Structure 1
Amino acid sequence: MRLTYWLKFAKGDNKIRTEYRRDVLRYIKNSLSEYAPEIYEEYYANKKENQPKPFTFSVSFSVAEKPNSKNDSFLLENDSLKIHFSFADYTFGMTVYNALLQEKNEAKIFGDAVQKIEHINLEKDKKIDDSTAVFKTLSPILVRDLHNGKGKGFIDSNHENFSDNLTKNITHLANHFLQETNISENEISVEPAKMKSDIINHYGGEIGNTGIIKISAPAEILQLIYDAGLGAKRSQGFGMLEVIQ
């Protein structure tokens, strides 16, 4: 299930901070806690922040002026942007949709200024039936450095462990959400194609990877990756993908 929110800013208020993903996430959590407390309790309350979430999102906008530093803001080229959501769980997706809809005319997602959700589009889902898919990133993929004892830190697409660590992430994701299937890492192959790496301003800075990636796995796993995202911190606005082949 995929949704696109068209957000309009008041004239003169079209700035978002470079850590805009945190603003979207905070808005989702606040909306769920108020309008769907049972869902909030299941996924976020009582130290459940690290529990895998069945969704990802990305934000698309045009920039008129780039920030001078990581603590600065993006000046948008116009007064609107789009937030794209993808859900692996239809019930969860509809809950988020209804929660965000409650504040359609007075959304305060980015800063103190009021924004308006002008349109909410239900996008057509893609069904993956093959065992290989080529994806392009809609938001950067974060891949943990698993050789660090606590899995802290992230690696770029040129790192020797990039594909192996991402394979481990996919295996964990599949075994969590596809509970009737015992997935082995041997069933999954990851091949970064045209990718680049940049430092993303998110909680101090993360290495994000964007571009084209080819993945071979059972079709149900590829579908899960398409629906729920790929890599670490998916529900914080990373790892959203589109199928291109």
Structure 2
Amino acid sequence: MHICFSLRPEGSMEIPLQYNHIVQAAVYSSIDADLAAFLHDQGYQSGNRRFKLFAFSRLMGRFQIDKEKGTIRFFDEVRLVISSPVDQFCQSIANGMLTKGRLRLGTAEAEVEKLVVRQLKVGEERIAVRTLSPAVIRKTLYKPEGGRYSCYMQPGEPDYDTLLESNLRKKYEALYGQAAPEGNVKVRRLGRGDMRLVNYKNTVIKGYTGVMELSGPTELLQMAVDAGLGSKNSQGFGCVEVVER
């Protein structure tokens, strides 16, 4: 399920340019306290992996960047999309936002004008999606002298499909408590895409933005659409929408 919130700043809304953690905090503060504690402290588990099973987009609207101050100022309507396969989460975030009527993003506030709920049902084994926030696929490599580092990847690179499919299977198992359906997930970029850098709490993360074709079992494609592509979804990465090809 996708929920698109329309926010209206009073005049304008200025927040740090690297704002993922601010939106994440706003999401947690808008849902039921018990659910927030469960997601933050435990989440949905598959093996030794834990998932929050929600994703959110970049803030979308007319904006101006101040590089010297490291801020971004939004004007007029600002849109935020939040997605999840968990009905309880979707109901909680919708009720919380509407009840409060306002969303605090750091020191800024915006009025919650309206929300639109969309059920993006995957009915075939091949879909096209557009990233609403960068999709993070990475693998851990080890340095010869010791230590390790993250190698961030984009569609078409070796292991990209395998890592994406493994992530989706673990999310499916974490939510439903059973093995995911058989079948491989394949990814093909459609048109030009870019790797974007995001600083999340002083950690630089790379994610791919663009339009991609996904093929594979419908259940895993549905998980990609609702829970997000790749990792770090609850930190503001991998939110996608289905597009007509």
TM-score by length of 2: 0.83
1:134 aligns with 128
RMSD between aligned alpha carbons? 2.7
3-state SS, counterpart of residue 79 of structure 1: strand
One-letter amino acid matched to 1:113: A
1:238 aligns with 237
Q: Specify whether residues 162 and 120 from structure 1 end up closer, same or farther in structure 2 by C-alpha distance, changes over 3 A only.
A: same
Q: Does the 8 A contact of 2:61 with 2:76 survive in 1?
A: no
Q: Does 1:198 align with 2:193?
A: no
Cα displacement (A) at 1:225: 0.9
Cα displacement (A) at 1:183: 4.5
One-letter amino acid matched to 2:92: T
Instruction: Flag structure 2 segments of 5+ consecutive residues without an equivalent.
Output: none
One-letter amino acid matched to 1:80: E
2:37 aligns with 41
- How many residues are treated as equivalent by the alignment? 235
Q: Specify whether residues 162 and 203 from structure 1 end up closer, same or farther in structure 2 by C-alpha distance, changes over 3 A only.
A: farther
Q: Does the 8 A contact of 1:228 with 1:240 survive in 2?
A: yes
Q: Does the 8 A contact of 1:66 with 1:73 survive in 2?
A: yes
One-letter amino acid matched to 1:141: A
Determine the C-alpha separation between the residues in 2 that align with 1:47 and 1:225: 18
Cα displacement (A) at 1:52: 0.7
Q: Does 1:5 align with 2:5?
A: yes
Determine the C-alpha separation between the residues in 1 that align with 2:158 and 2:210: 18
Q: Does the 8 A contact of 1:189 with 1:215 survive in 2?
A: yes
TM-score by length of 1: 0.83
2:97 aligns with 100
Map residues 151-230 of structure 1 onto 2, 5 A cutoff.
Answer: 153-157=150-154, 159-183=157-181, 187-194=184-191, 195-204=193-202, 205-230=204-229
One-letter amino acid matched to 1:7: L
Match 1:121 to one of 103, 106, 116: 116
Cα displacement (A) at 1:116: 1.1
Instruction: Flag structure 1 segments of 5+ consecutive residues without an equivalent.
Output: none
Determine the C-alpha separation between the residues in 2 that align with 1:154 and 1:7: 36
- 1:114-135 CA distance string (max 9 Å, x none): 3211112223x22212112221
Determine the C-alpha separation between the residues in 1 that align with 2:100 and 2:148: 37
Greater alpha carbon shift after TM alignment, 194-203 vs 210-219? 194-203
Cα displacement (A) at 1:63: 4.6
Q: Specify whether residues 46 and 93 from structure 1 end up closer, same or farther in structure 2 by C-alpha distance, changes over 3 A only.
A: closer
Determine the C-alpha separation between the residues in 1 that align with 2:171 and 2:200: 22
Determine the C-alpha separation between the residues in 1 that align with 2:59 and 2:22: 14
One-letter amino acid matched to 1:192: R
Q: Does the 8 A contact of 1:140 with 1:208 survive in 2?
A: yes
Q: Does the 8 A contact of 1:144 with 1:151 survive in 2?
A: no
Identity %: 21
- 1:62-92 CA distance string (max 9 Å, x none): 45433426x701122x233111111201122
Q: Does the 8 A contact of 1:196 with 1:210 survive in 2?
A: yes
Q: Does the 8 A contact of 1:63 with 1:74 survive in 2?
A: no
